[in-house]
Amino acid sequence: MSAAEAAPGLGVAEVERLFVDLERPLFNVVYRWLWDRDEAAELVQEAFARLWQARARVRPEGARAFVYRIAVNLAASRRRWRALRRFVAVDDARDAGPDVRPDVAILGAERAAAVREAIDALPEKLRRVVILCEVSELSYAEIARVLEIPIGTVGSRRNAAAERLRRRLHAQENPHEAPAGR
């Protein structure tokens, strides 16, 4: 253990300060999984509740990565669970309004739907990376720690995801153009 590393354990003030710092970026990350404002906010709360439970063994310098990892895993898990419920017709896939989807109010319904579709179409591992890169305010090194992958992989996956997003959105906006080769 290096001298710069603090002993494990977070206090009330540290957890609250972290919440104030991370609530918005974490909400933005989780929202891109769930596309539901209230559910995303509730999941941020849940991630911090887990941090609070584990506060005795979390080092202050690793707390950001810890809470992001928890939130991303919870969001991915909830998304899978929701897909399963829809598959067995327990849940309806309903179009939500701006109350539930704040991005609709900013981007407009059509653009927001296109963006959502493009992000949803990404493979899970690319989606994790690009969302964290674009909205989390984490560095590549921190993202690598959150996702437990090499830093170089973060960059390559982010570029691959960005390329797919651009191509898909371009195809959606220009449906009559022939698809590019490859």
Smallest gap from residue 136 Cβ to other proteins (A) = 10
Smallest gap from residue 138 Cβ to other proteins (A) = 8
Smallest gap from residue 34 Cβ to other proteins (A) = 12
With respect to other proteins, which residue has the nearer C-beta, 19 or 69?
19
Sign of dihedral through CA atoms 135, 136, 139, 145? Answer: negative
Smallest gap from residue 94 Cβ to other proteins (A) = 20
With respect to other proteins, which residue has the nearer C-beta, 73 or 172?
172
What is the C-alpha separation between 143 and 154, in angstroms, rounded?
A: 7
Smallest gap from residue 3 Cβ to other proteins (A) = 25
DSSP state string for the chain = --TTSPPS---HHHHHHHHHHHHHHHHHHHHHHH--HHHHHHHHHHHHHHHHHTGGG--GGGHHHHHHHHHHHHHHHHHHHHHHHHHTTSS------TTT-HHHHHH-HHHHHHHHHHHHTS-HHHHHHHHHHHHS---HHHHHHHHTS-HHHHHHHHHHHHHHHHHHHHHHH-TTSPPPP-
With respect to other proteins, which residue has the nearer C-beta, 23 or 76?
23
With respect to other proteins, which residue has the nearer C-beta, 85 or 173?
173
Residues that bind other proteins (CB under 8 A): 12, 16, 19-20, 23-24, 27-28, 31-32, 37-38, 40-41, 44-45, 48-49, 52-53, 102-103, 106-107, 115, 118-119, 130-131, 133-135, 138-140, 162, 165-166, 169
With respect to other proteins, which residue has the nearer C-beta, 85 or 163?
163
